[in-house]
Chains A and B, each alone.
Chain A
Amino acid sequence: MSDTIRDKVIAIIAEQAVLEPGDIDPEASLADLGIDSLGLVESIFAIEEAFDIQVPFNANEPDQSDFDISSVAAIIAAVEGLVAEQKGG
């Protein structure tokens, strides 16, 4: 399950960054990948749709969100947490 989440999140981010999934460095931030604030909001929407979860994120206070967006790996971990919490693992 975990690998699937990782692959799906990377695929979503890769599509937004117009890169191949293999070129996505997990330690990179979205800004490093050239994704701006609109791209971020669109990625979160795609994640919610893909996993049928609610992601708590307000673009006005990205740092205060429980949803860590500091890097691709952080986003994957946050999505794993939300899936476990909202879908019972």
Chain B
Amino acid sequence: MRRVVITGQGTINALGHDVPKTLEAMREGRCGIAELELRDLDRLSVRIGGQVKGYDPEALFNRQQIALYDRFTQFTLIAAHQALDGCGLTFAGELATRSGVVLGTAGGGVNTWDENYRTVYEEGKNRVHPFVVPKLMNNAAASHVSMEWNLKGPSFSVATACASSNHAMGLAFQLIRGGLADVMVTGGSEAMLSFGGVKAWEGLRVMSKDACRPFSANRNGMVQGEGAAVFVFEEYEHARKRGAEILAEVVGFAMTSDAADIVMPSKQGAARTISGALKDARLNPSDVCYINAHGTGTAANDKVECAAVADAFGHHADDLMISSTKSMHGHLIGGTGAVELLACIMALRDGIIAPTIGYEEADPECALDVVPNVAREAKVEACLSNAFAFGGFNAVIALRRAP
């Protein structure tokens, strides 16, 4: 069977504008969540988020590019450059047709929608910029990556709310394993921290006004983040022959649907997906030392997720570590699984488990080792990354140390 390895990674998020800075923040348990910088902030009741600060698009993109790149596309291209520049791959000839890009985003060009609705509704103008549609469409980021690197194989975008990136990466993995591609650029991006994007989440009344404290008894909701992470997935023999540096191996993926509720998570659905990923990866539960949790910091998710892990792992649930890095970078919605995969790769490569920060009070309904507040050293052979989306769509990825 064809094996799949990761040979490149890049990111921009609230913890840092690249991978080393992000991993340093995760090791130090630093919080990237702060007061939002947004227009009309006084009209929002939720005013914190994991926002990318110190960011100047004009310094990175020219005027024509900015006319076409929504913020979520900009984040994607920044992360893709880090992942692909210097990874040693040149996409020409047959490799170009055997390589593609599949990226997750829930909202796509939310800022573009927001700004142009303002133009026509609030300002009463009857004309918008000609590139509004190609700028806001969900596949814009994936398309620009394909054009920038000449990727001519299977390419598309995935929108499954908070599981978008995990679905995207899982599909990229399956495309390579199934022989439909040799290299896939994958991950995800989200830039939903606009006035309308935050206002929409506010309406659901599940947002915290002060902090994201996953698994803590006093948790009071989720906090939005923004940013992107992009990876290079490559067929193992292809990577090995060219002497590529291998960061980790992708060994399994499972996706399921709860078919139950539009917002409430399901223990059975989550447990079934975790077990499915283990089976697909041919891992025993005891092989897994670390899980990067979905861990949103809502009352419902965290207790259901802990119960699902306990169900899927049995006694071994008490021996493994499970942490939610959303406590540091916020919930990147459709981009979250991608940024969280960085923590999984760090666990496998560097033996450092990113903590769940903001943890203050034990919750008997979340009685697992959630790596509270301080990073930990551990030798990790295999790990999982969970994503459980609104709409009941679940996606779990399994990684193993580089072969």
- A residues adjacent to B (C-beta < 8 A): 37-38, 41, 44-45, 54, 57-61
Contact = CB atoms under 8 A, between A and B. Distances in A.
Contact of B262 (A38, A45, A54, A59): A38
A38 B203 contact: no
Contacts of B63: none
Nearest to B299: A60
A57 B263 contact: no
Contacts of B205: 41, 44, 57-59
Contact of A41 (B204, B262, B298, B299): B204
Contact of B203 (A37, A45, A54, A58): A45
Interface residues of B, number: 16
19 contacts: A38-B262, A41-B204, A41-B205, A54-B45, A57-B205, A58-B205, A58-B206, A58-B207, A58-B221, A59-B204, A59-B205, A59-B298, A59-B299, A60-B206, A60-B208, A60-B219, A60-B220, A60-B300, A61-B220
Q: Is chain B's interface secondary structure helix, strand, loop, or mixed overall?
A: loop
B120 interface: no
Contacts of A57: 205
Contacts of B264: 37
- The winner among A38, A45, A59, A61 for most chain B CB atoms within 10 A is A59
Given A59-B204, A59-B206, A38 B263 contact: yes
- The winner among B45, B205, B206, B300 for most chain A CB atoms within 10 A is B205
B204 to A, nearest CB: 7
A58 B207 CA distance: 7
B44 to A, nearest CB: 12
Interface in B161-218: 203-208
Contacts of B219: 60
Contacts of A58: 205-208, 220-221
